[in-house]
């Protein structure tokens, strides 16, 4: 489980999202949870009791959107529903999605 | 009937209002503008009744016009020409004639109104009629039935109920909803075509890309979720009523974005004023008025840091308010606040100066001068940072006063008056030891004595800027950096320190400006620590010097350890524009020697032609047809 390609994110109301590990690692918060000897690192399951399903769904959307476009130029912007804007902003701050890591570090 | 009408007219509307019970806010508002909702409703009812009557008349020809109800028609709807009761007797007759006159007046007014309306102007263009009055009357007669009535559709002839949303047809009649939808569709199609033409395909994308590179916001891959959210929010800021309890760094980001879009005004300002905040940063205050600035202090009583750019209306009244309140600002940043008088600056510093740790004043021309600076040593005992930018009033006397502030750590001056080098030398002698930042922009008259003073006194400098000096020489710079006891600098900006002689532009016999030796000495002293270096326009630095500094041993290309190349780990941004000797080879060497370089500017380096740029790095200003930016796609360069 610990070294699976996928991890599971659980929202406040119990919805589970199975996400590509590499995509989810864009978030330093999740990266930190999956490192070291935490429970999350062993089980590959992260619970977010503060985040509701519809916000987490959008965040997971973003993870994959970022992963798909990580090497591309001129990436079209992802649509953010206006009514969720502030909630997503809070979530973005929680997941530390502020400064994106450099797409591919130089060898 | 007329009597009832007259009574109806003469009844004072105020009395009416007084009888009524509790009113809505809208009613109150309308009342304050002398509009009575009750009156409007009565008028509308009367009009509707009259219109119904008129319709009944049309349907039933036998209905005689002496019907008392129809007599009301001319008074309430000017559309039907005045046709009063035929029985003209005594008092009633006079009333009727007065009535008729009134109706005619009303019609005249209505025609005037129609003439002024947009609809009329549009129609006039179509019809091209000379007689405006006739046209207006025709419009008046065909004036649309009120909502709630039945009407035949102009297009398909079907009978339908008129609503407030019913559309006008091309001939002026009303359309039923299926026909209006058809019209809407055509309109939408016409509207859609336009923006498509406006945003041009590949060129628009490339322009956007280059714009973001120059903004320094360019990144490979997707934007961060936060950026996406903030952009969406800024686009829809008129929908936001409250930002909730977002963390202040995010609020700051939103504020920046909004200011960039010039959306910060009285309304949106409230979103950023949180009563518990200690910091308010306004990046574009151009649309705010004095009351808005006062509101900042009212809403945020615990304010410690205030930053306002384009603070045009930050004037004496605002200063008075700030002085009169119990607000202890530690950090004040004002840009363009030209309406604050010298007296207010003086009063502010005397009353509140003791709390100030940082004072930054940008773009003032008259009232922030030597006498204000002279107050600082006495009134601001804990002043740590002082920045006076683009100031036309401060002279050497003011700078001399700054030398008496022993707590100062960061000093930036960008003055319009020339100040003699001796003043700077004196200043560095007094407070130079602890200075961490020294920024002297546009100091034409500063000479080597300033550099020598830096060498002698400064021991904790991190950031150094001396620009546009026409007297400092290469030997002076070399003396400064050779054996300087100050640890390595992180930020150096020596742009445009060069010899200026239009008669002999190439020759520089006296070695004026930053040339080869100075540059070598600079990199030897600070190369390891430098994060940002700007030698823009230092055009007498030779190619050899660049090659020495960014030294790559070509023979051992495949073995980095043996090649003995100098590595500048920290350097992230390098500006070498208008250094004429820069070649492709030098640029390539720079990329090799600076592994963490993000951006290299080479405007005006005409010998740079075709460089391979490593991936993720930005080269700006290449003189070729591809535009000015190359974003590298070459992965192999560092092997």
Residue B64: which residues within 8 A CB-CB, separation 6 or more?
none
Residues of B in contact with A70 (CB under 8 A): 220-222
**A33 belongs to a structural domain:** yes
pLDDT for residue B149: 77
Beta strands in B337-430 (DSSP E): 358-364, 385-391, 410-415
Give the phi and the psi of residue B278 in degrees, each rounded to 5: -110, -5
Question: Does A3 score more than 80 pLDDT?
Answer: no
- Asked whether residue A101 is assigned to any structural domain, the reply reads no
Mean pLDDT, residues B521-527 taken together: 94
Residue-averaged pLDDT of chain B? 81
The shortest CB-CB distance from B616 to any of A77, A88, A102 is to: A102
The proportion of chain B whose per-residue pLDDT surpasses 90, expressed as a percent, equals 44
Over 90: is that where the pLDDT of B475 sits? yes
Q: Tell me which residue in B220, B226, B243 faces A73 most closely, judged by beta carbons.
A: B220
Q: Is the pLDDT of residue A4 over 90?
A: no
Least confident range from B174-178, B194-198, B361-365, B455-459: namely B194-198
Nearest to B375 by CA among B393, B402, B356: B402
Max mean pLDDT among B109-118, B508-517, B608-617 falls in B508-517
The whole-chain average pLDDT of chain A stands at 84
**Distance (Å, whole) CA B639 – CA A23:** 29
**What mean pLDDT is predicted for residues A37-56?**
89
Residue A33 sits in a domain of what CATH number?
3.30.710.10
Q: Are strands A16-20 and B618-624 parallel, antiparallel or unpaired?
A: unpaired
Residue of B441, B368, B380, B439 whose CA lies nearest to B406: B380
User: CB neighbours of A88 closer than 8 A, spacing ≥ 6?
Assistant: A55, A58, A59, A80, B225, B229
Mean pLDDT lowest for which of A69-83, B327-341, B351-365, B421-435? Answer: A69-83
Does the pLDDT of residue B532 top 70, yes or no? yes
What is the domain range of residue A27? 6-94
Q: Are B513 and B538 in contact (CB under 8 A)?
A: yes
Tell me the torsion sign for CA atoms A20, A21, A27, A33. Answer: positive
pLDDT band at residue B629 using 50, 70 and 90 as cut-offs:
low
pLDDT at residue number B140: 58
* A88–B contact, CB cutoff 8 A: yes
In a domain, A54, yes or no: yes
Q: Which residues pair with B360 in a beta bridge?
A: B333, B387
CB contact under 8 A, A59 and B233: no
Is A105 contained in some domain?
no
A35 pLDDT tier (thresholds 50, 70, 90): confident
Average pLDDT over residues B531-556: 86
Which of A56, A80, A95 is the best substitution to test chain B (most B C-beta atoms within 10 A)?
Answer: A80
Going by C-beta distance under 8 Å and a sequence separation of 6 or more, which residues neighbour residue A56? A9, A11, A15, A17, A48, A91
pLDDT, position B499: 87
Residue B143 pLDDT grade (very low, low, confident, very high; cuts 50, 70, 90): low
Asked whether residue A102 is domain-assigned, the answer is no
Residue A19 forms part of a structural domain = yes
Give the dihedral sign, CA B407/B413/B417/B418: positive
For residues A45-68, average pLDDT: 92
Would the ipTM clear 0.85, i.e. be above it? yes
Secondary structure string (H, E, C) spanning B35-74: CCHHHHHHHHHHHHHHHHHHHHHHHCCCCCCCCHHHHHHH
Size of interface A-B (CB pairs under 8 A): 90
Q: What pLDDT does residue B414 have?
A: 94
**Chain B within 8 Å of A76 (Cβ-Cβ)?**
no
The percent of residues above 70 in pLDDT, for chain A, comes to 90
Instruction: Report pLDDT for B570.
Output: 93
List, for residues B285-339, the tens digit of each pLDDT value: 999 999 999 999 999 999 999 999 999 999 999 999 999 999 999 999 999 999 9
**In this predicted model, what pLDDT tens digit does every residue of B225-265 receive, in sequence order?**
888 898 888 888 888 888 877 888 888 888 998 998 898 98
Residue B172: what pLDDT? 72
B503-512: average pLDDT: 86
Q: Determine which of B184-193, B575-584, B607-616 has the lowest per-residue pLDDT on average.
A: B184-193
pLDDT higher than 70, residue B196: no
Burial track B167-190 (b if 16+ CB lie within 10 A, e otherwise): eebeeeebbbeebbeeeeeeeeee
Can you give the pLDDT at residue B95? 62
Residue contact A70–B236, C-beta within 8 A: no
Rounded distance between C-alpha atoms, residue A36 and residue A2, angstroms: 11
Q: Confidence band (pLDDT; 50, 70, 90) for B63?
A: very low
- Quote the minimal CA–CA distance from B188 to chain A in Å: 23
E strand segments, B305-455: 305-308, 331-335, 358-364, 385-391, 410-415, 437-441
Q: What's the sign of the alpha-carbon dihedral B482, B486, B489, B494?
A: negative
The per-residue DSSP string of B69-122 comes to: GGGHHHHH-TTSPP---S---HHHHHHHHHHHHHHHHHHHHHHHHHHHSHHHHH
Angle among Cα B534, B540, B541 to the nearest 5 degrees reads: 60
Please report, for residues A65, B105, B123, B125, the alpha-carbon distance to residue B135 in angstroms, rounded to integers and kept in the order given.
61, 18, 9, 11
- Chain A, 44 to 63: residues with Cβ < 8 Å from chain B are 59, 62
Does any domain span residue A1? no
Partners of residue B615 in chain A, C-beta under 8 Å? 104, 106
Concatenated DSSP letters for B221-238? SPPPHHHHHHHHHHHTGG
Q: Residue B361: which of B339, B335, B340 has the closest Cα?
A: B335
Task: Choose the weakest-confidence range: B279-283, B483-487, B508-512, B632-636.
Answer: B632-636
Query: What is the pLDDT averaged over residues B503-511?
Result: 85
Cβ-contact B307, B284 below 8 angstroms? no
Q: Do residues B386 and B411 make contact, with C-beta atoms less than 8 angstroms apart? A: yes
Q: Is the dihedral of CA A63, A65, A67, A71 positive or negative?
A: negative
Cβ contact (<8 Å) for B614 and A78? no
Q: Do B244 and A86 touch (CB under 8 A)?
A: yes
Give how far B297 is from chain A: nearest CA, Å: 26
At B10-58, the pLDDT tens digits run: 444 444 445 556 667 777 777 777 777 778 888 888 888 888 887 766 5
Work out whether the CA dihedral B25, B28, B30, B36 comes out positive or negative.
positive
- Supply B387's token pair: 């920045």
Q: For the packed helices B25-32 and B37-59, what is the interaxial angle rounded to 10 degrees?
A: 90
Mean per-residue pLDDT, B515-536? 94
CB within 8 A of B234, min separation 6: which ones? B254, B257, B258, B261, B263
Q: How far apart are CA B269 and CA B406, in angstroms?
A: 38
Closest to B224 in 3D by CA, of A37, A38, A93: A93
Q: pLDDT digits over B364-419, tens only?
A: 888 999 999 999 999 999 999 999 999 999 999 999 999 999 999 999 999 999 99
The answer to whether residue B529 scores a pLDDT higher than 60 is: yes
* pLDDT at B586 > cutoff 70: yes
Report phi then psi at B465, rounded to 5: -135, 125
Residues of chain A contacting residue B229, judged by C-beta atoms under 8 Å apart: 80, 85, 88-89, 92
pLDDT at B559: 43
Query: What is the distance between the alpha carbons of residues B26 and B32, in angstroms, rounded to a whole number?
Result: 10
Tell me the pLDDT band of B104, cut-offs 50, 70 and 90: confident
Q: What is the per-residue pLDDT for A101? A: 61
Q: Which residues does chain B have within 8 Å of residue A73's beta carbon, measured at their own beta carbons?
A: 209, 220, 631
Q: How many structural domains does chain A have?
A: 1
Residue B523 has pLDDT above 90, yes or no: yes
Per-residue pLDDT, B490: 96
Q: Which of B217, B221, B227, B249 is the mutation pick for testing A, counting most A CBs within 10 A?
A: B221
CA distance B395 to B385: 19
Instruction: For Cα atoms B2, B4, B6, give the angle at the middle one, nearest 5 degrees.
Output: 70
B90-116 and B118-127 helices cross at what angle (nearest 10)?
A: 70
The yes-or-no verdict on residue B342 having pLDDT over 90 is yes
Q: Do A69 and B222 touch (CB under 8 A)?
A: yes
pLDDT at position B116 over 80 = no
- Dihedral of CA atoms B313, B317, B320, B322 in degrees, nearest 10, equals -40
CB B309 within 8 A of CB B284: yes
* A23 lies in some domain: yes
How does strand A16-20 pair with strand A6-10? antiparallel
- Residue B90 pLDDT > 70, yes or no? no
**Residue B126 confidence (pLDDT):** 54
What is the DSSP secondary structure assignment for residue B504, as one 8-state letter? S
């Amino acid at each position: 489980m610990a070294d699976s390609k996928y991890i599971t994110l659980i929202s406040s109301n119990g919805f589970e999202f199975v996400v590509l590990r590499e995509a989810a690692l864009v978030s330093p918060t999740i990266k930190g949870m999956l490192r070291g000897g935490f429970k999350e690192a062993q089980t590959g399951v992260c619970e977010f009791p503060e985040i509701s399903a519809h916000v987490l769904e959008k965040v997971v959307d973003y993870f994959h959107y970022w992963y798909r476009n990580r090497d591309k130029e001129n990436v079209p912007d992802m649509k953010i529903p206006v009514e969720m804007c502030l909630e997503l902003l809070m979530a973005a701050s929680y997941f530390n999605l502020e400064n994106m890591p450099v797409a591919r570090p130089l060898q | 009937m007329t009597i009832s009408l007259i009574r109806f007219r003469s009844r004072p509307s105020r009395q009416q209002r007084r009888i009524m019970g509790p009113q809505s806010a809208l009613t109150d508002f309308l009342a304050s503008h002398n509009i009575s909702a009750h009156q409007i409703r009565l008028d509308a009812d009367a009009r509707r009744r009259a219109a119904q009557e008129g319709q009944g008349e049309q349907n039933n020809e036998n209905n005689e016009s002496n019907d008392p109800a129809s007599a009301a028609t001319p008074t309430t709807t000017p559309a039907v020409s005045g046709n009063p009761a035929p029985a003209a007797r005594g008092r009633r007759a006079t009333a009727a004639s007065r009535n008729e006159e009134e109706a005619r007046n009303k019609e005249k007014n209505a025609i005037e109104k129609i003439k002024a309306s947009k609809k009329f102007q549009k129609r006039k263009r179509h019809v091209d009629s000379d007689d405006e009055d006739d046209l207006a009357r025709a419009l008046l007669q065909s004036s649309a039935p009120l909502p709630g009535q039945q009407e035949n559709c102009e297009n398909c002839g079907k009978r339908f109920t008129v609503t407030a949303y019913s559309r006008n047809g091309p001939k002026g009649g009303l359309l039923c909803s299926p026909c209006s939808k058809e019209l809407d569709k055509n309109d939408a199609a016409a509207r859609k075509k336009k923006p498509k033409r406006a945003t041009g395909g590949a060129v628009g994308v490339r322009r956007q890309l280059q714009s973001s590179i120059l903004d320094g916001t360019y990144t490979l891959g997707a934007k961060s979720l936060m950026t996406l959210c903030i952009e969406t929010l800024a686009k829809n800021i008129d929908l936001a009523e409250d930002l909730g309890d977002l963390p202040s760094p995010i609020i700051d980001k939103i504020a920046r974005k909004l200011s960039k879009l010039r959306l910060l005004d009285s309304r949106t300002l409230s979103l950023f004023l949180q009563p518990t905040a200690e910091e308010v940063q306004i990046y574009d205050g151009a649309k705010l008025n004095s009351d808005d600035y006062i509101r900042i202090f009212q809403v945020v009583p615990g304010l410690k840091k205030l930053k306002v750019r384009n603070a045009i209306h930050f004037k004496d009244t605002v200063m008075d308010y700030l002085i009169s309140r119990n607000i202890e600002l530690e950090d004040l940043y004002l840009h363009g606040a030209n309406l604050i008088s010298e007296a207010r600056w003086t009063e502010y510093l005397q009353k509140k100066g003791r709390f100030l740790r940082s004072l930054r004043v940008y773009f003032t021309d008259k009232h922030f001068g030597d006498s204000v600076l002279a107050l600082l040593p006495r009134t601001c005992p804990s002043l740590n940072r002082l920045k006076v930018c683009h100031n036309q009033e401060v002279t050497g006397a003011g700078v001399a006063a700054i030398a008496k502030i022993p707590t100062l750590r960061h000093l930036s001056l960008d003055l319009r008056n020339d100040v003699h080098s001796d003043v700077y030398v004196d200043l560095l002698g007094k407070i130079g030891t602890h200075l961490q930042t020294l920024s002297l922009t546009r100091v034409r008259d500063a000479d080597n004595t300033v550099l020598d003073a830096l060498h002698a006194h400064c021991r904790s400098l991190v950031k150094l800027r001396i620009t546009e000096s026409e007297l400092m020489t290469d030997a002076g710079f070399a003396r400064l950096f050779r054996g300087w006891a100050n640890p390595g600098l992180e930020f150096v900006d020596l742009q445009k320190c060069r010899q200026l002689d239009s008669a002999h532009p190439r020759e520089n016999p006296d070695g004026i400006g930053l040339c080869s030796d100075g540059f070598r000495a600079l990199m030897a002293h600070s190369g390891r620590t430098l994060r940002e270096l700007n030698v823009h326009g230092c055009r007498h630095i030779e190619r050899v010097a660049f090659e020495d500094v960014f030294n790559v041993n070509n023979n051992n290309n495949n073995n980095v350890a043996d090649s003995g190349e100098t590595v500048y780990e920290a350097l992230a941004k390098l500006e070498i524009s208008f250094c004429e000797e820069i070649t492709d080879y030098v640029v390539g060497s720079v990329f090799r020697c600076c592994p963490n370089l993000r951006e290299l500017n080479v405007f005006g380096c005409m010998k740079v032609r075709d460089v391979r740029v490593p991936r993720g790095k930005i080269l700006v200003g290449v003189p070729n047809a591809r535009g000015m930016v190359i974003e590298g796609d070459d992965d192999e360069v560092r092997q």
